[in-house]
Structure 1
């Protein structure tokens, strides 16, 4: 990089200056800071359905609240993985076995009594199709009261702790899951 005697080239100097200016930003981007979660493909480690269920039946939904993923197996064994939003806190998280008992397109949303207590300013109902509806375009109702697997209009929530207890997916993805999930599909939240 030295040219014409002992003088440095302009290209060498610009390269050095760019490296010095950019290095702190690159190091900061690489290292997770305290309280931040590093998101990468390793967080999408998969489960085997056999570790949680005796048979596929008419399908299985397995939601991993730590990894923020939903694995969906159809009755013929095809499996797909989706990123999800999960409950804000462990107190709002219910874990265990349940099943899909109802399906709704453009579902109406009503806050639960505990949501209304925490947020009295929230409206008592938001109709389906409203862009402010937190259930998005589709919802799978579980046998647990108030718990759903649903879409979301707010795509910033996916991959984060952001719900009041439900599992959220991108609208395009819940529509796919909805179409492939019959009522009676087994569900487990871990």
Structure 2
């Protein structure tokens, strides 16, 4: 197994091409082959204002801006089970920095002891930023629990490291089309 390299080490040593947080994490993933580039043309007819493809099998999120001058790939967490995974086309309908988290009815059914709401902060399961999708209860969001990235760990959402959702949040506009595959 290759040794893990922290983002700080990558940035401090100036390794060429690894300054982006997305690329720095990509280099330390155990399953680098899962980061194979996805071709957006297989899923959409045009780039429109930008696109997101979240690949639940490889646990990677792909983003292209409107003129394809920016392409980013981020490691993600994905739903705990295929029963919780919704695949298909949706779009970003709202963006929120410092989101609050409210358990869904199915979460509350499974665990009635859940709090009614968790405000923004380090205990919030949505992390620092959230992209709300047109599907009720589905989000692309950050997480403070970095052990979840690269694993099945959510109730349907796509989770990213907080620094990566902050980067994506800055590039994505409301109306960005999304496909979960």
Q: TM-score, normalised by structure 1?
A: 0.79
Q: Tell me, which stretches of 5 or more residues in structure 1 are unaligned?
A: 1-25, 27-37
2:47 matches 1:75 = no
Q: CA deviation at 1:39?
A: 3.4
Residue 125 of structure 1 is matched in structure 2 by 117
Q: Which has the larger radius of gyration?
A: 1
CA distance in 2, matches of 1:89, 1:101: 25
2:146 matches 1:149 = no
| Pairs within 5 Å for 1:81-100 | 81-100=73-92
Query: Any idea what SS the aligned residue of 1:50 has?
Result: helix
Query: Any idea what SS the aligned residue of 2:164 has?
Result: helix
Instruction: Identify the match of residue 59 of structure 1 among 44, 50, 56.
Output: 50
Query: Any idea what SS the aligned residue of 1:43 has?
Result: helix
Residue 50 of structure 1 is matched in structure 2 by 41
Deviations 1:22-56 (A, max 9, x none): xxxx8xxxxxxxxxxx9321111121000000000
| Pairs within 5 Å for 1:24-43 | 39-43=30-34
Query: Any idea what SS the aligned residue of 1:80 has?
Result: strand
CA distance in 1, matches of 2:133, 2:77: 17
Number of aligned positions between the proteins = 153
Query: Any idea what SS the aligned residue of 2:53 has?
Result: strand
CA distance in 2, matches of 1:54, 1:136: 32
CA distance in 1, matches of 2:116, 2:159: 21
CA distance in 2, matches of 1:40, 1:163: 20
CA RMSD of aligned residues (A): 1.2
Q: Tell me, which stretches of 5 or more residues in structure 2 are unaligned?
A: 2-28
Instruction: Identify the match of residue 107 of structure 2 among 87, 112, 115.
Output: 115
CA distance in 2, matches of 1:66, 1:48: 15
Q: CA deviation at 1:131?
A: 1.0
Instruction: Identify the match of residue 179 of structure 1 among 166, 170, 173.
Output: 170
Residue 98 of structure 2 is matched in structure 1 by 106
